[in-house]
Amino acid sequence: MNKTATTGLTRRGLLAAFAATAVTAAPTFANAAGFLRGAGDIRRIRMYSGRTGERIDMVYWIEGDYIKDALKEVNHFMRDWRTDGVAHIDTRTVDIMAAAHNLLDVNEPYMLLSGYRSPETNAMLRSRSRGVARNSLHVRGQAADLRLSSRSVGQIAQAAIACRAGGVGKYSRSNFVHMDCGDVRSWGG
């Protein structure tokens, strides 16, 4: 005789109920890491570079831990393409980029225009444009200039601003958005 009791709950039903409870009980986060919570405890970054032809699409954080090898790849990918100089890219900037990407709900990778800049590259760009800061956060590996063909500069900037985690600059004429992990601020048009 089989004494199997049925409760009417399936594993799938139990997981769905838990997920609904977790979503409604989750606090509101006012920073980029908060926008990444609930995404299966992973953080993913997708980018390509028109300058080098390289692409990355990787999980760089799992369940509270950054993946060192993935971050090394991010550092190399976001290098100064003019000098081939590589620097440590601040994980806070990567988190802001990933959170904004999630808010935009796109599969398209970011086009990276500028990540790390060597002091020499920054000085050269500064001599050509008044829009380049002397103490640019790009030189510290704390900023990125990005674009998406499927979203406007305004949409991308709004997503980054919603993260309330750093600086966001709109460069509509040049069709890119600057994101950094410095003070929370926004500029441009």
CATH (domain of 42)? 3.30.1380.10
Residue 137 covered by a domain: yes
For the chain, the domain total comes to 1
Residue 138 covered by a domain: yes
Give the model confidence (pLDDT) of 70-104 as tens digits.
999 999 999 999 999 999 999 999 999 999 999 99
Residue 32 has pLDDT above 60, yes or no: no
> Which residue range forms the structural domain that includes residue 104?
30-188
Q: What is the model's pTM?
A: 0.78
Residue 165 covered by a domain: yes
Residue 16 covered by a domain: no
Residue 73 covered by a domain: yes
Q: Are 147 and 111 in contact (CB under 8 A)?
A: yes
CA distance from start to end of the chain: 75
Sign, CA dihedral 118-131-101-165, equals positive
pLDDT at 131: 77
Give the model confidence (pLDDT) of 110-154 as tens digits.
999 999 999 999 999 888 887 788 889 999 999 999 999 999 999
